[in-house]
Amino acid sequence: MSRLSIFPDQATDTGQTAAPLVVSDDAALIHQELMQRGIGFEQWAAPIDLAGDADEASILRAYADDVAQVKQRHGFITVDAIRMTPDHPDRVSLRSTFLCEHTHAEDEVRFFVEGQGLFSLHLKNEVLVVLCERGDLIHVPAGTRHWFDMGANPGFCALRFFNNAAGWVADFTDDPIADRFPRLE
């Protein structure tokens, strides 16, 4: 079940993360709280069970209608599918990279068609931790400070939409804030 937790971005006097101000798994409240902060969140059907050995081309074919809809609505030119499993050879290095706070010069849109992942968004004086699961589409505007956790034993597949042919390009902030907030365990 999708979940939103909203934390103050400042540590307590003891250096610990403060208790969340909001925790909810209500999709309407998640949508509302994120929209108030300029973050898009929708829940779509993801009815296709992918084969265990499905490659990127077959994943994109399976979700071609959804891909076309998002590309048309937002003008994206490139889409790919990232699928992470507990035995993926790059899972440790990719997790380490994604866990560093960063921004992008373009919007980051992800549609989860399998599994789950944890987006953490650093907005002004708060951190929003969004557990995205199958059927969730999240739209993070360009320039938003954030990080992503797929967990130590990842199990997800997400469609990623881009406005550039280079795909995923990050500008790292070098802020260690991600170390203080919940991870996907």
pLDDT of residue 169: 82
List of E strands, the chain:
3-8, 22-24, 40-43, 78-84, 102-103, 108-123, 126-133, 136-140, 145-149, 156-162, 171-172
- Nearest Cα neighbor of 42 from 78, 9, 72, 66 is 66
% residues pLDDT > 70 (the chain): 97
Average pLDDT over residues 16-43: 95
pLDDT of residue 12 exceeding 70: no
Predicted confidence band at 30 (pLDDT cuts at 50, 70, 90)?
Answer: very high
Flag whether 185 is in a domain.
no
Predicted confidence band at 11 (pLDDT cuts at 50, 70, 90)?
Answer: low
Flag whether 54 is in a domain.
yes
Predicted confidence band at 13 (pLDDT cuts at 50, 70, 90)?
Answer: low
Flag whether 171 is in a domain.
yes
Flag whether 61 is in a domain.
yes
pLDDT of residue 162: 87
Q: Which domain holds residue 101?
A: 3-180
pLDDT of residue 65: 93
Number of domains within the chain: 1
Predicted confidence (pLDDT) per residue in 52-96, tens digit:
899 999 999 999 999 999 999 988 989 999 999 999 999 999 999
How do beta strands 171-172 and 126-133 pair? unpaired
Q: Return the exposure string of 70-83: e unless at least 16 CB atoms fall within 10 Å of the residue's CB, then b.
A: beeeeebeebebbb
pTM of the model: 0.93
Flag whether 55 is in a domain.
yes
Predicted confidence (pLDDT) per residue in 129-159, tens digit:
999 999 999 999 999 999 999 999 999 999 9
In eight-state DSSP terms, residue 148 is E
Average pLDDT over residues 160-171: 83
Flag whether 136 is in a domain.
yes
pLDDT of residue 2: 97
Flag whether 164 is in a domain.
yes
CATH number for the domain including 100? 2.60.120.10
